[in-house]
Amino acid sequence: MTDESEVSTRDWLRGALRSRTVWINVALAVLGGLELSGAHITTLLGPQVAAGVLLAGSLANLALRAVTTTPLPHR
């Protein structure tokens, strides 16, 4: 392992792009932003489906965080 002071921003970004947890969080943020901007995903999908999508994303995030052992810059 490398010393954290030697880790560059490029290493952090490269690790983040490989992280499924980061991508799930980005997708949840985009969905939340679309809902706030007036896209009304809830009315398009229905309240149960929209809630299910958010719940599934949250559970996937939780599961990936539980099994992730490698810090982003070391990926």
Task: State the sign of the Cα–Cα–Cα–Cα dihedral 11, 14, 15, 16.
Answer: positive
Write down the pLDDT at residue 65.
82
Write down the pLDDT at residue 39.
67
Write down the pLDDT at residue 75.
64
- Max distance between CA atoms of the chain, in angstroms, equals 49
**Per-residue pLDDT for the chain (75 aa), expressed as one digit of tens each?**
555 556 787 877 787 788 888 888 888 888 888 877 776 777 888 888 888 888 888 898 888 888 887 776 666
